[in-house]
Amino acid sequence: MTTSDAAGEPWRALVRGDLATLPVYQAIQSPEVLAPELGLSPEAIIKLDGNENPYGCSPRVQAALATCPYLHIYPDPAQVALRRDLSAYTGVGPEYIVAGSGSDEIIDLLLRLVLEPGDSVINAVPTFGMYDFSTRVCGGRVIEVPRKRDFQLDVEGMLAAVDGRTKIIFVANPNNPTGTLTPVEALHPLLHAGPLLVVDEAYYEFSGQTVAARVPQHDKLVVLRTFSKWAGLAGLRVGYGLMPPGLAQHLLTIKPPYNVNMAAEVAVRESLADRDYLMGTVGAVVQERERLYSALERIPYLRPWPSQANFILCAVTRGDARSLHQALRRRGIFIRYFDTPRLRDTVRITVGRPEHTDAVVRALEEIEP
Ligand SMILES: Cc1ncc(COP(=O)(O)O)c(C=O)c1O
């Protein structure tokens, strides 16, 4: 009998060795979980840790979901109407499009499709954690190529890191958590490096820069988008990828049949129909980002980085980021902090409504690190 048997966990011997020690993904918690811990109501929480839209979703989404007669019916596995709507929005034909349960799922599906044991991906760190996490879950190796001091890509370093086993190069643009926008020209060499180039434009609507229109011209370019950030649909989980039609067909073949739920499908349609309203909220966030940036510059122990997304990364130059995170948490304000080697003592603050800026800045002025 093994130790696991003795502990009553004989299933442990069946778990893939490389997954047994996989670190937990540091996901954010919901207000329903956080509020009781602090003795607050969920509405009292100021949530600036998830890069969500502080204005919520379109009122048209709320109304359509309240009366949707199809919630008991499975959604269309071929996503015909959804892909048609996304085609109208992106200007790229439906045959180039696959939708997923968040863009997280498209990342996972791409990796499942291309990675064989021992294959690798190139990750320009610091960046969004799911590229690393999903690669490991899919049995791949992650080759980290640090970004430069200003968080721009080290394109030469990335090209040099590509070898015969490299299947994907990931570039978040703008990057999370740094807010850095890589100019389109800097991406060109990566398009011809051999692996798929996945340009993750989760924050496109805030930056205004996209390479979506180039997808039909390149056979190795994939663009990822989401409704979680600009459209306020993070809770419904819907994202999509633009890619060569043959690749899209492969993803449609391997995806779980009903991966985008009916409520999400309805919400996408209504969001796109109410695009002007939603882009109004995006405009308000972009304006507020500049006000928040100026206010953070005036906090003596913070050094904010310019951002083209809906969040701002700050170096904490006195005290440490974790304590600052905790001090804000006690006041019901949630931000993200990092303590990885490259992001030692940094915090990321999502841009909220003006009253959220006022509250977080007041708290930051009061806290003595
Ligand atoms: C760069 C980037 N890509 C993808 C995602 C995931 O988005 P979704 O909610 O569509 O899975 C995020 C979320 O934080 C992100 O920052």
Domains 27-55+277-366 and 59-273 alike in fold: no
Mean pLDDT, range 154-170, rounded to an integer: 97
Q: How many CA atoms lie within 13 A of 142 on its CB side?
A: 19
What global pTM score does this model have?
Answer: 0.96
Domain assignments of the chain as residue spans, ordered by start: 27-55+277-366, 59-273
| pLDDT on residue 1 | 47
Protein residue closest via CA to atom 16 of ligand 1: 176
SS3 state at 222: strand
**Residue from 111, 128, 338, 348 to probe ligand 1 pocket by mutation (most atoms less than 8 Å from CB):** 128
Protein residue closest via CA to atom 2 of ligand 1: 202
Centroid of ligand 1 to alpha carbon of 88 (angstroms): 22
Alpha-carbon gap, residue 195 to 159, rounded angstroms? 10
Protein residue closest via CA to atom 13 of ligand 1: 202
Q: Which residues contact 275 (CB under 8 A, 6 or more apart)?
A: 89
Which amino acids bring their CB within 6 angstroms of ligand 1? 51, 102-104, 128, 172, 176, 200, 202, 226, 228, 234, 239
Centroid of ligand 1 to alpha carbon of 367 (angstroms): 31
> What are 33-84's pLDDT values in tens digits?
888 888 888 888 999 999 999 999 999 999 999 999 999 999 999 999 999 9
CATH tag, 59-273? 3.40.640.10
Describe the chain by its helix, strand, coil percentages, rounded to 5.
45, 15, 40
Please give the mean pLDDT across all residues of the chain: 95
> What are 265-285's pLDDT values in tens digits?
999 999 999 999 999 999 999
Architecture of domain 27-55+277-366: Alpha-Beta Complex (3.90)
Look at the block and give the residue holding tokens 């001091």.
149
Protein residue closest via CA to atom 3 of ligand 1: 202
Centroid of ligand 1 to alpha carbon of 224 (angstroms): 9
> What are 95-148's pLDDT values in tens digits?
999 999 999 999 999 999 999 999 999 999 999 999 999 999 999 999 999 999
Q: Which of 111, 109, 129, 128 is nearest to 120 (CA)?
A: 111
**% the chain with pLDDT above 70:** 98
